[in-house]
Amino acid sequence: MTDLSTTRQATRLDAIGGHFDPWLLGISCALACLGVVMVGSASIGVADGHDVGAFYFLGRHVVFLAIGLVMALWVMRTELKTIEQHNQWLLLVCFLLLIAVFVPGIGKSVNGARRWLNLGVSNFQAVEAVKLLYIVWLASYLKRYSEEVTATWGAMLKPIGVAVGLVVLLLLQPDFGSSSLILAITAGMLVLGGVNMPRMFGPVLVGLPLLAIVAIAEPYRVTRLTSFLDPWQDPFKTGYQLTNALMAVGRGEWLGVGLGASVQKLSYLPEAHTDFIMAVIAEEFGFLGVCTVVALYAGLAGRAFWLGLKCVEMRRHFAGYCAFGIALWMSLQSFVSIGVNLGLLPTKGLTLPMISYGGSSVIMTCAALGLLLRVSYELDRAQRQVARVRNETTPPPAASAPLATSAPIATPQSKRPADAVRGTSRLRQRVEPTLGRIA
């Protein structure tokens, strides 16, 4: 009888579903819609320069967004434990993708950089997939070696070594912006994973000078840095991008000139639909539009960090670290992209997630947000399961005090039925793994 009741209890728990976080879903949809509108507006001048239809880039962006939506839905329906089982293969795919760009016939060079894979109908930037796959692998690593990472040098240095290997391949392309992003995500996830902070100072003190040396080793990077400090010294050559971006930002003032009324996007501002789309937003929607975009990314990152913290509290460490990694990715990349457009950071080739045109970025960002929504679903499901168990195992409230003439009947602990004890033990064994306990 006890086994039957325990089986029924487990069946009821398995039948409990979860809900996707409405805040994440709403922010993701808002960013996607804003991206469609702004790509349509910002790409008109670019399309005219390429002698294609006015809405050529908009049509392609919508197709990429549809592919990304399919990927996001597939990830949202996949159990996290299934994804975690393939963590070692994901790391191997990261290295294969970055090596494939150097293979003749597979890799493709654009503007002197070998960052793309030739898929026939379109090009795919390999590093966009590497960002997500690497975050999933690192989340699995931190879950499996959580105690070792906090206690030993070797466990802490292994993911740093993997990140350095990826960075070397990225610098050969070259792609300094993505290299810095990978290193920053690695450091952030290690800190959030509980690494011993004094041990982190050593790799940081060694890595920062090396990054500085790499940054100044190439003349074009030095030129970007000097033009960033004073773009008006040479506004028609080295400072051309930034000066036009700043003119677009200044022209927008408080409320902007109106949707579609930007002047800088008409062949004045290079890459208006990709790297510098934020400048077009500032011109057409003004300071209010910039604040709205910043608020959307702040809400996305904040909600992702909150989900990660809740997952870790419930001992769902893999889900929590995935949420932390995606939050770091979205927040850092959006911060750099917005900073470049506003003249706060040197020019880097990082797109604005979900808003800038670019098939690779849009598709993989959609997949990352799908994974984040899956984390929210499984967290909500686990919380509902815990609530069900607590409700069914909480004893009923005590009855009213008995009459003075009746003596209370004591039930010693040793007299509790053995079947009930065994049933409770089986129930705990059945429920706790569902709530994310580490074996």
Looking at the structure, tell me whether residues 142 and 255 fall in a common domain: no
| pLDDT digit string, tens, across residues 420-436 | 444 444 333 433 333 34
Q: What is the total count of domains within the chain?
A: 2
For residue 32, give both structure tokens: 């996607």
Place of tokens 């789309």: 277
Instruction: Indicate whether 2 belongs to any domain.
Output: no
**Higher local confidence (pLDDT), 108 or 354:** 354
| Residue 257 predicted with pLDDT over 50 | yes
The distance of Cα 26 from the centroid of its chain, to the nearest Å, equals: 16
Residues 107 and 183 in one domain: yes
Of these ranges, 139-148, 299-308, 406-415, the one predicted with the greatest mean pLDDT is: 299-308
Do 114 and 101 meet the contact criterion of CB atoms below 8 Å apart?
Answer: yes
Percent of the chain with pLDDT over 90: 56
- As a whole number of angstroms, the distance between CA 184 and CA 266 comes to 35
Beta bridge partners of residue 108, listed in sequence order:
116
241/378 same-domain check: yes
Amino acid at position 110, single letter: V
The dihedral through the CA atoms of 291, 293, 295, 297 has a sign that is negative
Q: What are 68-100's pLDDT values in tens digits?
A: 999 999 999 999 999 998 888 999 999 999 999
Asked if 96 and 41 sit in the same domain, the reply is no
User: What range does the domain containing 257 cover?
Assistant: 32-65+234-387+426-434
Query: Tell me, what's the pLDDT at 396?
Result: 62
- Does residue 303 sit in the same domain as residue 190? no
The pTM of the full predicted model, rounded to 2 decimals, is 0.86
Sheet order of strands, 123-125 included:
107-110, 113-118, 123-125
Average pLDDT, rounded, for the chain = 85
Evaluate if residue 230 carries a pLDDT over 80: yes
Do 45 and 137 lie in one domain? The reply is no
**pLDDT at residue number 6:** 56
* pLDDT tens-digit readout, 356-412: 998 899 999 999 999 999 999 999 999 998 888 888 777 666 544 444 444 444 444
My answer on whether 259 and 187 are in the same domain is no
Last residue of a domain, one of 217, 245, 267: 217
Residue 225 falls inside a structural domain: no
Q: What pLDDT was estimated at residue 206? A: 83
Assigned domain for 414 exists: no
Closest alpha carbon to 316 in 438, 139, 431: 438
- Tell me the C-alpha distance between 165 and 324, whole Å: 22
Sign of the four-CA dihedral 192, 323, 277, 31: negative
Give mean pLDDT, residues 9-36.
86
199 in any annotated domain: yes
**Position 226 in a domain:** no
Query: What pLDDT was estimated at residue 409?
Result: 44
Residues 250 and 383 placed together within one structural domain of the fold = yes
Tally of CB atoms within 10 A around 361: 24
The pLDDT of residue 9 is 56
Are residues 142 and 185 located together in one domain of the fold? yes
Strand partners, 125: 116
Q: What is the pLDDT of residues 186-205, one digit of tens each?
A: 999 999 998 888 888 888 88
Within-domain flag for 409: no
Say if residue 336's pLDDT is above 50: yes
Looking at the fold, whether 320 and 210 belong to one and the same domain comes out as no
Mean pLDDT confidence for 224-253: 88
Q: Are residues 50 and 89 in the same domain?
A: no
User: What is the per-residue DSSP string for 312-364?
Assistant: HHTT-HHHHHHHHHHHHHHHHHHHHHHHHHTTSS-------TTTS--HHHHHH
Peptide bond into 174 cis (omega under 30): yes
In angstroms, the CA 246 to CA 429 distance is 61
